[in-house]
Structure 1
Amino acid sequence: MTMTGDQEPGLLRIVTAGSVDDGKSTLVGRLLHDSKSVLADQLEAVENASRSRGRQDLDLALLTDGLRAEREQGITIDVAYRYFATPRRRFILADTPGHVEYTRNMVTGASTAELAVVLLDARHGVVEQTRRHAAVAALLRVPHVVLAVNKMDLVGHDEGVFARIAGEFTAYATRLGVPAVTAVPVSALKGDNVVEPSAHMDWYPGPTVLEHLESVHIDHDPRRRVARFPVQCVIRPRTAGSSGHRGYAGKIASGLFHVGQEVTVLPSGRTTTIAAIDVLGRRARAAWAPQSVSLHLADDLDVSRGDMIAPAGVLPPLTRDVTATVCHLHENPLAKGARVLLRHGTRTVRAVVKDIPDRLALDDLSSDPDPGRLGVNDIGRVVLRTAEPLPLDAYADCRRTGSFILIDAADGSTLTAGMALGNGRQGLDAP
């Protein structure tokens, strides 16, 4: 089976996060510049912009801060997606803002990431925003985290400073449930250990940031993941007298489907087999995430938008009672008793917030019991009751079909990002 698109072994999705003025945009710019991933006209524009700001050297942060407001204020505001490649791997990099009020943007960038680069200033060490970024990475089950300890040149390239910070962060991230942390001492401004090894830190035996990004193992084999297909729309036969069954179009959320496979349609629970698969207008024997396809079933079942098709032997649980870890994204708080809309895949149902059992304190990872409400950027646990049953996986088992968002029923604004817990899992530190 040949992999294509997002499932190529050579593709890595990255999210970057760091506090304001810690040098994250410079790190990303250095990564792009030194890996020769910047076009000549882009480089010329950055050189001109650097000179107009009175700088003699190249301001690499301008390679990522693309919005006019970002350039004028010298900060990152929105998620910026950058695409670059080396001979060993291709990358999609989501560069997210550092301000605490933009934590919601990191949630967006990290939701599909396989690796997070968390950057901090060696002079300041692990601060609250660093802990918040680690918590978001753990919340969204990002499997790999790189800690880039930046501005090592401003602390005299001191090995002890790096060791202390790396130890503190790794211990914190491990308590959150982050499975792997790789710490790298860098100077983004000087280029030390970003793409090329540093001549000033020969005490560090590990890889540069780019070397680690090129070599970290990511499992893209869809055969090892549960198969899930949320139905987006129904394609009816072109003619009234056609004997062909309807097709069901959408994007495979996870795993692999093949012709002849026995599947179950949820929530009806009806079982049938896949008769045919269309990919880009052509018949295929198999298809996998994240391909957009049309499935044709052997039996003419009643299937609608929002239904889910899954292998008959590996079904997500149908439930109206949802317990989830959430990150609240809206300025208006989420309160116990609130009536909201819950969007899961292609389905939207009414729901009520039955309980908010606890809120996470980021400084010591303690639990604030029964807070009653969650404010913007708060991370906590909620219990919901939905009007209709949902085929909801545990987020730890399937990121795509274990996640959902809560929506304001009045104006349609996004309130909260949720990750479903299951099988007795109680929070961020669950395996």
Structure 2
Amino acid sequence: MEHDAHAEASSHAVPPPEDATVDDWARDDAEPMSVESSATPPEVAAVDSGADTPPAPSASAAVAGEGVKEIQSSLQSLELKTNDAHVVEDDVEETKRHLNVVFIGHVDAGKSTTGGQILFLSGQVDDRTIQKYEKEAKDKSRESWYMAYIMDTNEEERVKGKTVEVGRAHFETEHTRFTILDAPGHKSYVPNMISGASQADIGVLVISARKGEFETGYERGGQTREHVLLAKTLGVAKLVVVINKMDEPTVKWSKERYDEIEAKMVPFLKSSGYNVKKDVQFLPISGLVGTNMKTRMDKSICSWWDGPCLFEVLDRIVVPLRDPKGSVRMPIIDKYKDMGTVAMGKIESGTIREGDSLLVMPNKSHVKVIGLNLDESKVRRAGPAENVRVKLSGVEEEDVMAGFVLSSVGKFIFRRK
């Protein structure tokens, strides 16, 4: 009997297997195990030793109890961190919408300068970088181009003063995350402009108020007209028309010049299919110095303007909502090979998650999502209006073409015969 009692006491002192302990504490409804519960029971100790008072818990029992507490604390901490991560992710997803903004207009209207000024005013570029660009522009005898260098990162673009590729950058306002698409204005690079406009939700048409520059862009053969027509054709439903260079010596914030440009543009925008009252907003700015961009115009600069600034207009603009729970639709605009096939595009509807099984249409190729990137950041999921790079397995890079569509397996796109 003494041997059996001793064995029973020993079994209480031995800590439970590691798996069993983890499973026990992984349950939300599990109650904490105290150190005393793992010690030798008093009545068993009394039988074993014959003493009237029970001995102190053994060292192994105390160690076991401390181990249980440590595991419990670690798991609770891990659970709290996991819950916090979910909360942050959900908050970001719910509070900030994402929109793509393409800057269009005639060459030298100030698109890159305006885009660079937006990034500077929103804190995406620091003063040290601006000073570096100022020096670089001065060395090239192009003092007024330094803001454009923020968007025009290619050396060829900086030397010629012309945007060639579609520049891409990001900034945020109070309610919206924006991706800037800086389209080239020269007629030789219209295909690149089309690529940028096809990804956009909003268009910012930049017009130069300088004497002679507006007329050159607006006349037949100028890119102001062509860009408006292309933007409307490519689905850019909302247009912000910024009359730039209003601080120029030939203009000096003239209301007559502003009204003249607006009066010429309104009939053309109507003929292009835009509802000017609902879908178009005009406003004067200076992209070089940032006037009427982040904050409203000072009356000492322009007494006649009572309207909003550019940031306000962009933040309040209303675009059709996309369904994050709908079928996945992502037109592919480019692809490349990198440890798998990477497809680039903008998600038009639905949500793509890492591990999803999708179809590449019209070939009906079954693929699996093995990676997602937003800009330079790796993410687990992406929703509507996001520009993403999706790494796919199950399809070769040469079997994917620009114009193909990533689609949900259950609800895919049929090819018209």
TM-score, normalization by structure 1: 0.54
- In structure 2, C-alpha distance between the alignment counterparts of 1:230 and 1:118, rounded to whole Å: 25
1:167/1:225 CA distance change after superposition, 3 Å:
farther
CA deviation after TM superposition for structure 1 residue 62, in Å: 2.2
SS of corresponding position for 2:416: strand
Contact 1:17 1:95 in 2 (8 A): yes
Aligned to 2:254: 158
CA deviation after TM superposition for structure 1 residue 280, in Å: 5.9
Question: Partner letter of residue 416 of structure 2?
Answer: T
Higher strand share: 1
- In structure 1, C-alpha distance between the alignment counterparts of 2:265 and 2:110, rounded to whole Å: 18
SS of corresponding position for 2:228: helix
1:278/1:8 CA distance change after superposition, 3 Å:
farther
SS of corresponding position for 2:170: strand
Aligned to 2:281: 182
SS of corresponding position for 1:141: coil
1:110/1:251 CA distance change after superposition, 3 Å:
closer
Aligned to 2:156: 69
CA deviation after TM superposition for structure 1 residue 68, in Å: 1.0
Aligned to 1:141: 235
- Say which of 129, 138, 162 aligns to 2:223: 129
Contact 2:115 2:151 in 1 (8 A): yes
Matched, 1:83 2:83: no
Question: Partner letter of residue 165 of structure 1?
Answer: I
Contact 1:229 1:309 in 2 (8 A): yes
Which one has the largest radius of gyration?
Answer: 2
**Structure 1, gaps ≥5 residues long:** 232-248, 270-276, 296-303, 321-431
Aligned to 1:169: 265
- In structure 2, C-alpha distance between the alignment counterparts of 1:86 and 1:25, rounded to whole Å: 19
Aligned to 1:202: 303
Question: Partner letter of residue 312 of structure 2?
Answer: E
- In structure 2, C-alpha distance between the alignment counterparts of 1:61 and 1:160, rounded to whole Å: 28
- In structure 1, C-alpha distance between the alignment counterparts of 2:267 and 2:134, rounded to whole Å: 41
SS of corresponding position for 2:311: helix
1:101/1:294 CA distance change after superposition, 3 Å:
closer
Contact 2:134 2:143 in 1 (8 A): no
Q: How does 1:318-397 map to 2 (within 5 A)?
A: 318-320=415-417
Aligned to 2:44: none
- In structure 2, C-alpha distance between the alignment counterparts of 1:230 and 1:190, rounded to whole Å: 38
Contact 2:328 2:406 in 1 (8 A): no
CA deviation after TM superposition for structure 1 residue 132, in Å: 0.5
CA deviation after TM superposition for structure 1 residue 197, in Å: 2.7
- In structure 2, C-alpha distance between the alignment counterparts of 1:224 and 1:174, rounded to whole Å: 35
- Say which of 282, 291, 294 aligns to 1:192: 291
- Say how many residue pairs are matched: 289
Deviation by residue 1:272-316 (Cα, 9 ceiling, x = unmatched): xxxxx98869xxxx9855685999xxxxxxxx987975697x775
Aligned to 2:187: 100
- In structure 2, C-alpha distance between the alignment counterparts of 1:76 and 1:257, rounded to whole Å: 33
Contact 1:7 1:220 in 2 (8 A): no
- In structure 2, C-alpha distance between the alignment counterparts of 1:267 and 1:176, rounded to whole Å: 32
Output the aligned Cα RMSD. Answer: 4.6
1:28/1:268 CA distance change after superposition, 3 Å:
closer
Aligned to 1:245: none
- In structure 2, C-alpha distance between the alignment counterparts of 1:197 and 1:7, rounded to whole Å: 28
Aligned to 1:298: none
**Structure 2, gaps ≥5 residues long:** 1-85, 333-341, 353-357, 373-380, 394-398
- In structure 2, C-alpha distance between the alignment counterparts of 1:265 and 1:49, rounded to whole Å: 46
SS of corresponding position for 2:102: strand
- Say which of 194, 217, 233 aligns to 2:318: 217
Question: Partner letter of residue 160 of structure 2?
Answer: Q
Higher helix share: 2
Question: Partner letter of residue 151 of structure 1?
Answer: K
CA deviation after TM superposition for structure 1 residue 15, in Å: 0.8
Contact 1:37 1:85 in 2 (8 A): no
Question: Partner letter of residue 217 of structure 1?
Answer: V
Contact 2:166 2:181 in 1 (8 A): yes
SS of corresponding position for 1:107: helix
SS of corresponding position for 1:202: coil
- In structure 1, C-alpha distance between the alignment counterparts of 2:151 and 2:256, rounded to whole Å: 32
- In structure 2, C-alpha distance between the alignment counterparts of 1:219 and 1:49, rounded to whole Å: 42
Deviation by residue 1:347-400 (Cα, 9 ceiling, x = unmatched): xxxxxxxxxxxxxxxxxxxxxxxxxxxxxxxxxxxxxxxxxxxxxxxxxxxxxx
- In structure 2, C-alpha distance between the alignment counterparts of 1:294 and 1:53, rounded to whole Å: 44
SS of corresponding position for 1:76: coil
TM-score, normalization by structure 2: 0.56
1:311/1:210 CA distance change after superposition, 3 Å:
same
- In structure 1, C-alpha distance between the alignment counterparts of 2:307 and 2:98, rounded to whole Å: 23
Matched, 1:12 2:99: yes
Deviation by residue 1:137-176 (Cα, 9 ceiling, x = unmatched): 1011112111111122332322232223223323322322
1:50/1:278 CA distance change after superposition, 3 Å:
closer
1:135/1:307 CA distance change after superposition, 3 Å:
closer
1:202/1:254 CA distance change after superposition, 3 Å:
same
Contact 1:29 1:62 in 2 (8 A): yes
- Say which of 196, 199, 202 aligns to 1:115: 202
